[in-house]
Amino acid sequence: MSAEAADPAAVPRRRSRPRIDLRRLGRVALLGPVPRDRLPDAIGHVADAHRAHHPDADLGILHRAYVLAESSHRGQMRKSGEPYITHPLAVTLILAELGAETTTLTASLLHDTVEDTEVTLDQVREQFGEEVCYLVDGVTKLEKVDYGAAAEPETFRKMLVATGNDVRVMSIKLADRLHNMRTLTVMRPEKQARIARVTRDVLIPLAERLGVQALKTELEDLVFAILNPQEYEDTRALIAEVTGESDPLAPIADSVRATLREAGISSEVLIRPRHFVSVHRVRRKRGELRPTDFGRLLVLVGEDADCYAVLGELHTCFTPVISEFKDFIAAPKFNLYQSLHTAVVGPEGAVAEVLIRTHRMHKVAEAGVVALGNPYAPDPTAAQQAEPSDERADPTRPGWLSRLLDWQESATDPDTFWTTLRADLAQDREITVFGTDGRTLGLPAGASCVDAAYAQHGERAHTCIGARVNGRLATLSTVLSDGDTVQLLLAQDTASGPSPEWLDHARTPAARIAITGWLSAHPDAPGPEAGGAGDADGRTGSAAGGPQPTAPARTRSGGRAANVVVDGPESPTRLAGCCTPVPPDEVVGIVVRGGAVTVHRQECPAVAGMREIGRAPVAARWRDEDGGRDTAACRVTLVAESFGRPRLLADLTEAIATADAAIVSATVEPPSEQRVRHTYTLQLPDAAGLPALMRAMRDVAGVYDVSRAQHPAATG
């Protein structure tokens, strides 16, 4: 089953088995009636589809589950007039085409038996085992609450809890909803619209986040047809106009095949027609569709390295559209999706979008968590298992789902739960930030330091008084970017709490619910001015922004700055920020406005500039302490030149931290020709450690040079 309307004739079939095109069956529900003949060899289609993905699967349990489901539902009819058994069969066939493992298919066949027949959970457990019983029970619990307006929050709270304990429960629920949506036309229009809205607001985003694109895209088309009938008809007419005509992507696909064949890259090149909603979105984006906008090229290869080899050949032999390039292999999406996206100009000037991925990536892109098998299957190579627990740790569970499970327990008000659930599901991108200890945090795009504080520290975040982002002091309202390093600063006073202004900067449900809960429980708590935990700018009573970065003493009377001595009359002296001199640099002083002296490195451009305008430097030298070895703290600015790569910023900051240097400030310039320039102002406990620090930074993979900063600065 594909996430887009694939051409059945273009895809090679395994074992010459006739493929049941579920996309076509889904479109039939949209495009017109279909004869309702009895299903041939009822369970045979499911068995064939299952064996295509799992050749060694034991089909005996599926046959037994079908016999129990058929006998239990015998005499029951659907509103469409079909025997009820056609529903669990269709749901199971959808999951089999996605590659679900045997346990999931068995539970799918039985998913309505406990709710709608006299079969009990004990019978399911006795005949099919604990895992199948657990899944059937999870799906049954979701069906026990009516989909009335007031019941929706509680229904989906239960769905969320069940999904968190086992993602296969949600897989069955999504397939169940897909088949129900295909046959929704037998219901009243108002009920169709209500179910379609719930599907649009919650189930489709959940399918997206679980990576099950094959279900998500067909659900989108079915919802589109119900909620936007006129726009759907317009889109349908556009697709109908080009159906049957020669595909403008065909000659480009032939050229790509020839190019890759000549390069010796084994690949499959397929044309992937877009589904209805995708065509509609492209039309809204561009205004007028190009002939090639009705589909995309899909290139499937064997290994990850082949993906980049294909990309190189396409960008060499065709004119690439650089703005369309995205690398989701180096930086996968939050829902497991990996692929290279690009666009090239074909021989006749037509632009074709191209997806490049391995066969494994393609399977996961289509089926998401369904393609990952049974996450609870025992590992035969593992040591003796720990004591059983009611808590099931799912290795396939994404970080966003863990966060939802955490905050749903705190959201006791159904309206709050429903609002925050929909808001969180509306987030379509996730970022990863790093703690100073190397720990990673997954947050939605747009999250702030407030969100990071609650994600890392839970309720302890109530005492947060500030943050450092990439070593630089930042306000709690600072919006984080992918790859940032975050250090949260907590007050010692555990009785302090958040400011109401924090809610203006909290994006995650966990943060908003925790802050709201604390404020409700402490209505008379003092504000920041009275010594509370502070507002989103990190200000707090006497703390005034929390711990500040330590710095060497910069001004002293007597002609000294830290461990520098200058000749001449006694005057305030400071080390220059433009070149940040440290022992044993050759230094000179420059007299600035007010009579103060700024000490620079000899080669600093500011010194040459002062000489050019006739301002004479004054002699300066480092104090000789401890036998000539300087042990004073110092501040220095370093420039690292590197090639761009994932985690580079995290690795550099780790190297700096390992050398006991503190980051006072940091800037990263936009990449230029795959090269990145980082500038760090660092606080070192001992100037003698500077050479070792620079060597450690040069040893970071991708860094090809580290040097002292040489930039001009105002001198007065």
Residues marked active site are found at 115-116
Residue 660 · residue 605 · CB < 8 Å:
no
Alpha-carbon gap, residue 67 to 511, rounded angstroms: 49
Lookup: tokens for 708: 């002292």
Alpha-carbon gap, residue 636 to 333, rounded angstroms: 38
Cα distances (angstroms) measured from residue 145 to each of 150, 152, 202: 10, 8, 16
Q: Which helix (H) or strand (E) holds 358?
A: strand 351-358
Q: Which helix (H) or strand (E) holds 560?
A: strand 560-561
Lookup: tokens for 22: 């579920």
Residue 662 · residue 683 · CB < 8 Å:
yes
Alpha-carbon gap, residue 572 to 595, rounded angstroms: 8
Omega into 584 within 30° of 0, i.e. cis?
yes
Alpha-carbon gap, residue 464 to 506, rounded angstroms: 13
Q: Which residues contact 449 (CB under 8 A, 6 or more apart)?
A: 464, 467, 469, 474, 475, 476, 477, 478, 480, 486, 488, 505
Residue 235 · residue 276 · CB < 8 Å:
yes
- Which of these, 347, 330, 348, lies nearest to 338 by C-alpha position? 330
Lookup: tokens for 268: 């499959």
Mind giving me the DSSP string for 37-104?
PPPTTTTHHHHHHHHHH-TT---HHHHHHHHHHHHHHTT-B-TTSSBTTHHHHHHHHHHHHHT--HHH
Q: How many residues does the chain have?
A: 716
Query: What torsion, rounded to 10 degrees, do the Cα atoms 425, 426, 431, 437 define?
Result: -40
Alpha-carbon gap, residue 412 to 304, rounded angstroms: 46
